[in-house]
Structure 1
């Protein structure tokens, strides 16, 4: 599959620059869900067996994208569930920034408050990104794990997880991959815990996600929330509670939705067919166009311009008294963005078309006219 073939499967309306919030579904995901729903609707004798195969299918699709084996992957309904499993399973100190997306700090604090075996160590970055150097300076013997976002949701900064691995040594490296999974060709093999959802850049909709665990993580984590679906028994475990499964499957609570799994798998299989490097290269072009347009109209860009420090997010930070004018201009031209904390976050995808960029130019033109009046 070529990148153009891949792009042709998406038909969102022009002006959508908010993939870091949620990605409109593509044809593959929609058609897969419709097929599985129809199968369930009719429930012809013997036909539902294919639903039972979706768990294996989605774990294999995830594994192929991150370089993990399928038995190191367990389906999750979202990123937060996966991170909760990981944090509640840790004994010792965890170093992380309080400025991470709430999924990470909430999981760490909830685990600490509930079990008293995890101790959060808060990383002060002085307003900057989480880098190997900042982490190295804060490591202590009591820290057994370091948690970081692959891409920061506020700034769009792409973390150097390879460099982080080098400075933390044998400690567990926990990665919230939500803002980079499927668009960043990351060295996932250096991580021990990877959690992500499928509703943003993978464009598979809500209710989809995964948790992947290295052999080191499987050896050190405790599967605190491990339900009846999380054993090695091929049969329903009746009349007794069996021990958790030996692999990542131990981190399951109940049977997931096979329809959600199928939708996620279909989206990931297409991503695998075209290749993440091709997607990343095309997305880099779109991001550069957004930055170039912002520069043309003197809209301050606060996020990194270097390709090795960015993924799909561009952050604009106008003067405080100009923020309302900018957001109004974007709204009036039908541009979907996220406005938070005095900044405007734009996040295109490979399918962001010329009509979208024309609308963005129109919004910037209106903004520039308003502030010069």
Structure 2
């Protein structure tokens, strides 16, 4: 697909980013292999992945990136032992730097005819880590594997850096993000881009009519403000947002600010949003590090919603809230006490491929 003029942008050709709850062809994952992501806990993490794959393969195909064929065989063995449906798992040999495909993988856009395009945003490891070159090649590999056209989003001659975890969409023209992630000079992804530039990019490539800007992300988030630990669309005009009940907690004020912003926001037609509170677990600290534990990092798949849990009393409240919001899906808790040591959980590791 050409990118030479404004009429060549995906949205001008009828493409939009679907909501996560729209039908999937598959979920893409990358098998965990990096010791520095889970120092001292890496041997536990494949078994957490196995639980995730077990839950997903009840409802859809899982495409799994592995370092090599030997890793693929080992992963398949673990999945089999955990009773995942390995007949619905396809392994693909592609070395990666890390396993967070929400951010390094492609974002798919679709049109009314069912055509799909893989958007290949530049990835630079959250403008924080030096090793990202393998991960930056994931979208091209996925696009070729799936057999869809690939587009590299560009704005004013600048190839745009964007992570999937920094945005959330309702599939009908609305996009959520944070000023901290996209507009701050800390971990600055795209120094040339202003607020208006981002809004143009989202309109051109994702079919977005209105961007809803929240303030800051939760404490402990090394991405510097990803929306998928903070607030998520669960319907065309319904948003869940995490809230902190303890005024002494360092998340309390920033989450209150974000909730107040959401409650004053409207959709593209001027209708008010329905804002549903989602609790936060009590602070989860490991080796003196506050971890970004958040129930907002759930993932919506065909027939199921998998939700991170943290051995916390608020687990049941979060699961109940999401079960009420998704009555037609099985809401399944996955223990992420170990997984979150890698500074991410379920949404961070998954990337949907729309049907």
TM-score by length of 1: 0.26
More helix by share: 1
TM-score by length of 2: 0.27
